[in-house]
Amino acid sequence: MKINIYYGGRGLVDDPTNLVLNKMQTVLEELNVIVERFNLYELRGALTTLPQTLKSADGIILATTLEWFGIGGYLQTFLDAIWLYGDKEKISRIYMCPVVMSTTYGEREAKLSLSNAWEILGGLPCSGMCGYIKDTSILEHDPEYLKLIEKKAENMYRTINQKVKPLPASNQAVKQTVALNQGMNLTPQESEQLSRYAADEGYVQRQKEDIKELAAIFGGKLGEQKKKTEGLEHADYTARLQRGFTPKPGGKGVFTFRISGSRTPVLMLHIEPSGLTVFDREGGRTDVELWMEQPVLENILEGKTTFQKAFMTGQIKMKGDFATFRVLDEVFLFEAD
């Protein structure tokens, strides 16, 4: 069994959370558990890559010290990274024990916040612990408090070892219904690659510079192009989309294009294996919504770029099912002039 500890405090000498974690780690190691600790304040430059460390864990402890309000920036950033890049299938089998020690008001709310976050991520809950500790020495020299910490570590061990199954929680429904990135069905390999790129500040900076350089080169052309094409209407769009449309088995979806700078600001595409229908108004359900400038759509229609490339470079904003979004480049094959 392996348990990872993620400590989100500042690492102060008199931090009561450190005392609790040290005691829990000692108990777990006595039970032959492999314990690995990650101090987030030491790893703040690599928080987006830390979700990869979850892959080898059977359980984790999310711990922080409440000094003012909320769980703190380090732990929040780490949870954000898990949501964006974590392997959700692996997370669904990991138990999490929240530990919050407070020197001010709000430890119960912070503990509940961690539990809710982990359940929305799809993970399994363990009974955590929280407390208001004004003076660390009180906690350190009280045998009853130390015994309570030991029992909490033992309970976590038993929960993971026996694979205790929790009752369904409404938080799980949130993940399936209102989560915007629920449609990003990325493989673990794709998630790991994205997390590495996101953590590589040099890579991100190079991408920004490349985009600026391309914008400078093509800025004039795009300006001229905008003047020529800003008058396009529904019939023009429909004709060009129909010319590039190639139906595919299983290729279907309802897409809403919101186009800035065009006389037709909204296009609604109904794609089926049997054909394509284009409306100049919205109505009914939609699987994917896209926001883009009119020149971006023009580049796609001329075969100069694709929907996915435009999305990856930030020229298109998307909301909805990412797997359905990929259908666009499968059924539309525009040829460059």
**Three-class DSSP labels, the chain:** CEEEEEECCCCCCCCHHHHHHHHHHHHHHHCCCEEEEEECCCCHHHHHHHHHHHHHCCEEEEEEEECCCCCCHHHHHHHHHHHHHCCHHHHCCCEEEEEEEECCCCHHHHHHHHHHHHHHCCCEECCCEEEECCCHHHHHCCHHHHHHHHHHHHHHHHHHHCCCCCCCCHHHHHHHHCCHHHHCCCCHHHHHHHHHHHHCHHHHHHHHHHHHHHHHHHHHHHHHHHHHHCCCCHHHHHHHHHHHECCCCCCCEEEEEEEECCCCCEEEEEEECCEEEEECCCCCCCCEEEEEEHHHHHHHHCCCCCHHHHHHCCCEEEEECHHHHCHHHHHECCCCC
User: Residue 196: pLDDT above 80?
Assistant: no
- Mean pLDDT of all residues in 50-62: 93
Tens of pLDDT, residue by residue over 287-325, are: 999 999 999 999 999 899 999 999 988 899 998 888 899
pLDDT higher than 70, residue 161: yes
- Cα distance between residue 132 and residue 107, in whole Å: 7
pLDDT of residue 49: 87
The highest-level CATH class for domain 220-331 is alpha beta
pLDDT of residue 183: 44
pLDDT tens figures, 210-238: 777 776 666 655 555 544 444 456 788 88
What is the overall mean pLDDT for the chain? 84
Mean pLDDT within 103-116: 90
Rounded CA-CA distance 103/146 in Å is: 18
User: Which percentage of the chain shows pLDDT scores above 90?
Assistant: 44
Better pLDDT: 41 or 206 = 41
Predicted local confidence at residue 181, as pLDDT: 47
pLDDT of residue 201: 63
CA distance to 64, 129, 182, 230, per residue, from 173 (Å): 27, 25, 12, 43
- 103-117, 156-170, 246-260 — which is least confidently predicted? 156-170
Q: How far apart are CA 5 and CA 1, in angstroms?
A: 13
Q: Which CATH superfamily does the domain covering 2-193 fall into?
A: Flavodoxin domain (3.40.50.360)
> Tell me, what's the pLDDT at 323?
86
Question: Where do the domains of the chain lie?
Answer: 2-193, 220-331
Using the predicted structure, report yes or no on whether residue 25 has a pLDDT greater than 80: yes
Residue 72 is predicted with a pLDDT of 86
pLDDT in tens, 254-283: 999 999 888 888 999 999 998 999 988 877
Residues 6+ apart with CB under 8 A from 216: none
